[in-house]
Amino acid sequence: MTATDLSTPVPAVVAPGKHGTSARRVRSRGGRLLGYAALVLAAAGLLLPFFWMVVASLKTNNDVFTIPITWLPDPVVWRNYVDIWQRSDMTTWLGNTLLLSVIVTFLQVFTGSFAAYGFARVRFPGRNALFLAYVGTIAVPWQSYMIPQFILMSKLHLSNTLWSIVAIQAFGAVGVFLMKQFYETIPEELSEAARVDGLSEYGIYRRIILPLSRPALASLALLMFTTTWNDYLGPLIYLRSPELRTIQLGLNTFISQYNAEYALIMTGSVLSVLPVAVIFLLGQRYFIEGVASTGLKG
Amino acid sequence: MKRAIPAVISAATALTLVLTGCGGGDEPVDPNAPVTITLAGWSLASTPEFKTLADGFKATHPNVTVELKEYAPGNDYDTQMITDLAAGTAPDVYVMKNLKNFYTYQSGGQLLDVSDAASGLNSPALASYQVDGKAYAVPYRQDSWVLFYNKDLFAKAKVAPPDGSWTWDDYTDAAKRLQTGLKAAGSNATGAYQHTFQSTVQGFALAQTPNADLLSGDFGYLKPYYERSLDLQAAGAQPTFGTAKTNKLTYQAQFGKQQSAMLLMGTWYVATLLNQRQSGDADTFQWGIAPAPQFDKSTTGASATPVTFGDPTGLGINPKINKSKAAAAKDFLKYAAGPEAGKALAGIGITPAQVTDAVTASLFGLDGVPQDDLSKFAFAKHTVKPENPVSKHTAGLQNLLNETHSAILSDSKGVDAELSKAQSRAKNEVLNQ
Amino acid sequence: MATLPRTRPRNRRLVSRNTVAGWSFILPNFLGFVGLTLLPVVVLFYVAFTNWNVFGVAEWTGTANFRRMWDDASFWTALRNTVYYAVFHIPLTLAAALGLALLLNRKLRGVRFFRTIAFFPYITSIVAIAVVWNQLFSPEYGPINALLGAVGVDNPPGWTASATWSMPAVIIVGTWRYMGYYMLLFLAGLQTIPAQLYEAAETDGASPWQRFVHVTLPGLRHTTFFVTVLLTIESFKVFDLILVMTGGGPGQSTLVLSQYIFQKGFEENQFGYASAVSIVLFAICFGITVIQFMVNKRRNS
C-alpha cells in the first residue's frame, strides 16, 4: 500500500500487517464506508455557502436575508437566471474575465517557472539577495502601494485597459517562489547527467525539468486562474469602462446606492463559480500523473 | 524637502521605461463651440439622477454634452475617485457623497473655486461647501432623516400613529406598544427597525442635542440616545444590532416586507420604496412619513420646525479640467443646484438641495406617495444639520465613533465605559494630529 | 597548489557563464517585477517618511510617522489582533490542508469530485461566505448555537456579535476558506515523493504513522517550507475576509493591520502614515520569512 496508489482507503483504519487477509478485507470495507461517510459529511460542510448561494439566486431580492435563515426558496424564482442574461452584459463580463485569467495564468506560469529555474539551478552572485527581494514584495500589502502603481500605469497609458490587470498580475513573486521550491525536489543528478550529455541550461529546463514539474505547474496554473478570476480590488482600481468589466466588477453594478439586487448578485456568483469548478475538475489529472508515473527512478 | 510623488515616479519611469508625452495646450475659447464635459456617476442603470441632470442641462445648453463616466457604487466610488484624481485621470465634474469626503478633496486641492457659480444659488446647504469665503462645490441633493411608518401595522396593533409631536421617549414607547399589540394580533413584525449605520443613533444625537459638538471630543451627548436603543433591543421591540449584522438585514426588506412598523431613514428611501413596490420586491401597504422624533417638546408640533440631520450631496469641478471647458462645467453646476433641476429630480423621487413648493408638489405627485399632511410637512419643513462638520478631524472621529457604535450595541461593557474610551482615543489618536 | 592557477580562470569563466545563464532565465519575469512591483514598493518606502495625502505634494517628516505609531493605541490593537489571527490560523490551516491532501491523494472512486469540493470554499464568492457563516454564527437564530444549546452549553458564545468571540469565529472561517488552497500545493508536493520509498518502508514493516513521519514529511520538506512562508505572509496580511465578515468589529475586536492601513489611507487620507504602518507590517512578515529561510537552510544541510 502506498500513499500515491491506493486501492484501499484511509490508512488509519487499516491495521498494519498482522491480520489475515479476509479480516483485513472486512475491516477495509467498513473503513471504506466510514471514510465515505466522513467525506460526504465534510463535503456538506464545505458546500453549504455554495448551496446558500444557489438558494438565494432562486429568491426575490427582499427574501434573501431573513431571520432566521431560510434554506429553501419560496416561491422559486427561476426568472433570475433569465434576467441576468437579458438585463446585464454577463457575456462581456465572462469573456473579459476568461481572457484575463487565461493570459495572466499563461504569463505567470511561463515567466515564473522560467525565472524559478534561474533561482533554483544556476549559481550566480547576488542570487539569494535577489530572491529575498522577490519574496519580500509578497509581504508588502498591495493596498499600500496600489496608488503609486496606479500613477505609474497611468503614465504608461495602461490604466483602464485590460493590459493593466495583466501587467499587475502576471509577474508576481508567488509563482517564482512556488516553482523554485518544486524544482529543488528534483534530483540534481538528473541535470548533471544532462549537462554531461551536452544539454544547455535551456535544454535541461525544457527537456527535463518542465516535464517533471507538471503537478506543480498545474497547481500554479489553477491557483493563478482562480485568483485572477475572483480578483475584485485589482479590476476595481484599474478598470472604468463598462466594456472592460470583469465578472466581479459586473456583479457590483447590481448594487446601487440605496438598494442592491442580492438575488441577481447571487445568480451571477453561481454562474461565475461553475466555470472555475469545471476547470478544476479537468485540471486534476495532472496532479496524479506526477513524478511517480513518468517512470522516473529517484 | 518637498516633492510630488508623481514627479518621483515619472523620473523613475523615464529612466527605466519609455515615457510618452502627455498633456496639451488649451485651445482658444469660443462660447458656442460644441463642448463635452465628463461627469462621474455610479450604478447608472439603476440611478437615473445623473442622466436626468445631463439631459436637463442639454435642453438649455445645446452645445454642451455631459458625458457620464460610471464609477463603482458605495465606498468604492471614493476609492476609485481618489486613485483617478491622484493620477490625473479623473472626470471634469464629480460628486461628493458626503461632507467627510468633501474635506478630503478640498484640502487636497482637488476642487476648483466655483464661487461664481454658487453666488446665484439659494439653498441652506451651500454654506457647508464654503472654505475661507470661497465655494468649492454646490449641493444638488439634500436628503434628510425622517420616520417612515407602516399605517396598516399601526392599525393592526391598535397604536396611535405619529402626529408630529413625538419626542424620542414617545417613539420608544410607541415601539414597545406596537410590539405587544402586533404580537397580540398574531404578527411577527417588530415595532421598529434600527439599521446598523452609526448615523441612526449618532446623527440624531449630534444634530438635536443642544451644544453637542463632534470636534470637541466630548461624546457625552450620545449617552441618552444609546440608552434608548439598548432599551428597545432588550425589550425585543427591534431586532438587536447583532442580529441585524449577522443576518445582514436590509432596511428595504424590513420595512418593505412589513417586518417592522417603523423605520428611521433618509428621504432617499421614498424613491427606493416606490420602485420596489412596482417591481414586487416590496409589499403594497399604507405608509407615511413623519418628522424624526425630537430631543424635547420645543421642536415638535405643526408650528415648530423639527431638527434632523443629513449631509448634502455636492458637485465639484476637477481643477485639471481643460480651461475651455471650465465655463461650461460651472454652468452645469449652476443648473444642477438650481430650481429647474430640483423639480426634475423631485420628479424621480429625489430630494433636491432646495425644497420649494414646486418640488414638494412634484414629489407628492408621484404615484404611490402618501398624501397626508404630516407626510408633506415632514418632507418640506425641517432644520437639517450636517452629519459631518467639515474639518480635518472629522473622518478620524467618525471612524472611531463607528467602532464605538458597534461596541456599545453588541457588548455589555456599558455605554459609559465605551464612551469614555472613545473620548480618550479621540484625544490621543485624532485631535492631537 | 599547482592546480590552483589553472582552476581559477575556469571558475571565473563558470561563474560568469552561470551569471549570464541565470539572469537570462530570470529576466522576463524580472523586468515586469521591477517595473510594476518593486518600483512602487520603493516609492512606498519613501512615502512612509512623508506626510503624503495622495494628492501631489509630500513633505519629508523623517521618523514622525513611526513615532506617532508608537503612541497610537489603535495601531497596537490592530497589531495584537493580527498576531492573534496568525498564531491560530497558521497551524490550523497547515494541519487541515495537509490532512485533506493526504486524505484525497489516492485513487478512490469519486476522489476528483471531493477534491473539487475541498477547493470550493476558495472559489465561492467571499460575500456569500460571509453571509452564510455569519448566519450560522448568529447568536439568537443560528444553527451553531442551537446545536451548542442542545448539547447542554448554557451560555453559548456570541460569535461575530461579541468582542470576545469574533476573532475565534473569523479564524474558523479563515481556516475553512484557505485550507483548499494549500491542500492543492500539498497535493502537488505529494506527487514528487517516489512510490519506491513507500514500498521500501512497507517492506521494512513501517506502520502508516512511521511512513508518514519518515517518508511523507521529509519528502514534502520543500513544499511545506513554501506553504509555511506563504501562509505566514498571507495571515499577517489578512484583509478581505475580515472586512466582509465583521468589518473589524464589534468595536476594534477584529481590526487587523491591513484594514487599519486602508482606513488611514483611503478613508482618512493619511497615506504617509498608512505607508509607515505598511512598512511595519512588511518588516514583521519579512523578519519571520528570513528566520524561516535560515531554519530551512540549516535543516537542509
Question: Letter for the amino acid at B91?
Answer: P
Contacts of A68 in chain B (CB under 8 A): 247
Tell me: pLDDT of B207 over 80.
Answer: yes
d(CA B106, CA A208): 61
Between A253-257, B66-70, B356-360, the lowest mean confidence (pLDDT) is in: A253-257
Quick: pLDDT tens for B147-182: 999 999 999 999 999 999 999 999 999 999 999 999
**Reduced to 3 DSSP states, what percent helix, strand and coil does chain C have, rounded to the nearest 5?**
75, 0, 25
Contacts of B428 in chain C (CB under 8 A): 71-73
Question: Would you state the pLDDT for residue A25?
Answer: 55
The beta-carbon neighbor of B43 closest among A155, A156, A257 is: A257
Residue (of B153, B405, B174, B150) closest to B293 by Cα position: B174
User: Are the Cβ atoms of C163 and B407 closer than 8 angstroms?
Assistant: yes
Mean pLDDT confidence for B393-409: 93
Per cent of chain A over pLDDT 90 is: 13
User: Are the Cβ atoms of A49 and C133 closer than 8 angstroms?
Assistant: yes
The beta-carbon neighbor of C21 closest among A122, A140, A297 is: A122
Question: Would you state the pLDDT for residue B319?
Answer: 93
User: Are the Cβ atoms of B247 and C138 closer than 8 angstroms?
Assistant: yes
Question: Would you state the pLDDT for residue A289?
Answer: 52
Q: Tell me the CA end-to-end span of chain A in Å, nearest whole number.
A: 19
Tell me: pLDDT of B106 over 80.
Answer: yes
Query: Could you tell me which chain A residue has the CA closest to the CA of C207?
Result: A16
Tell me: pLDDT of B22 over 50.
Answer: no
Alpha-carbon torsion (A145, A151, A157, A162), positive or negative:
positive
Is B17:B305 a contact under the CB 8 Å cutoff?
Answer: no
Mean pLDDT confidence for A177-200: 85
Distance (Å) from the alpha carbon of B429 to chain A's nearest alpha carbon: 21
Question: Would you state the pLDDT for residue A194?
Answer: 86
Chains that touch B (3 or more CB pairs under 8 A): A, C
Backbone phi and psi for residue A124, each to the nearest 5 degrees, phi listed first: -150, 155
Tell me: pLDDT of C111 over 60.
Answer: yes
Mean pLDDT confidence for B5-34: 50
d(CA C278, CA C276): 5
Q: How confident is the model at residue C94 (pLDDT cuts 50, 70, 90)?
A: very high
Quick: pLDDT tens for B117-131: 998 888 888 989 999
User: Are the Cβ atoms of B407 and C140 closer than 8 angstroms?
Assistant: no
Q: Which residues contact A224 (CB under 8 A, 6 or more apart)?
A: A101, A104, A105, A108, A109, A169, A175
Contacts of A297 in chain C (CB under 8 A): 194, 196
pLDDT greater at residue C31 or residue C107: C31
Q: Which residues contact C212 (CB under 8 A, 6 or more apart)?
A: C102
Question: Would you state the pLDDT for residue C87?
Answer: 96
d(CA B164, CA B394): 32
Residue (of B341, B276, B432, B296) closest to B123 by Cα position: B341
pLDDT averaged over every residue in chain A: 80
**CA distances, B92 to each of A125, B36, B127, B323 (Å):** 52, 10, 23, 11
User: Are the Cβ atoms of C282 and A140 closer than 8 angstroms?
Assistant: yes
Alpha-carbon torsion (C290, C295, C298, C299), positive or negative:
negative
Is B194:B409 a contact under the CB 8 Å cutoff?
Answer: no
On whether any CB of chain C is under 8 Å from the CB of B108, the answer is yes
User: Are the Cβ atoms of A65 and B253 closer than 8 angstroms?
Assistant: yes
User: Are the Cβ atoms of C60 and B108 closer than 8 angstroms?
Assistant: no
Write down the ipTM of this complex: 0.85
Q: How confident is the model at residue A291 (pLDDT cuts 50, 70, 90)?
A: very low
On whether any CB of chain B is under 8 Å from the CB of C141, the answer is yes
Question: Would you state the pLDDT for residue B4?
Answer: 53
What are the cell numbers at B316?
465639484
On whether any CB of chain A is under 8 Å from the CB of B278, the answer is no
On whether any CB of chain B is under 8 Å from the CB of C135, the answer is yes
On whether any CB of chain A is under 8 Å from the CB of B5, the answer is yes
On whether any CB of chain B is under 8 Å from the CB of A77, the answer is no
Pairing type for strands B260-266 and B307-309 reads: unpaired
Tell me: pLDDT of C243 over 60.
Answer: yes
Mean pLDDT confidence for B220-244: 93
Contacts of A135 in chain C (CB under 8 A): 229, 289
Per cent of chain C over pLDDT 90 is: 31
User: Are the Cβ atoms of A156 and B13 closer than 8 angstroms?
Assistant: yes
On whether any CB of chain B is under 8 Å from the CB of A149, the answer is no
Reduced to 3 states, what is the DSSP secondary structure of residue B290? strand
Query: Could you tell me which chain A residue has the CA closest to the CA of C31?
Result: A171
Pick from B20, B49, B89 the residue to mutate for testing the A interface (most A CBs within 10 Å): B89
Quick: pLDDT tens for C194-220: 888 888 888 888 888 888 888 888 888
Question: Would you state the pLDDT for residue C134?
Answer: 87
Tell me: pLDDT of A36 over 90.
Answer: no
Tell me: pLDDT of A8 over 50.
Answer: no
Residue (of B425, B432, A145) closest to C76 by Cα position: B425
Chain B residues 120-159 with a CB less than 8 Å from chain C: none
Backbone phi and psi for residue B315, each to the nearest 5 degrees, phi listed first: -120, 135
pLDDT averaged over every residue in chain B: 88
Query: Could you tell me which chain C residue has the CA closest to the CA of B419?
Result: C251
Pick from B18, B19, B252, B265 the residue to mutate for testing the A interface (most A CBs within 10 Å): B252
Question: Would you state the pLDDT for residue B318?
Answer: 94
Q: How confident is the model at residue A13 (pLDDT cuts 50, 70, 90)?
A: very low
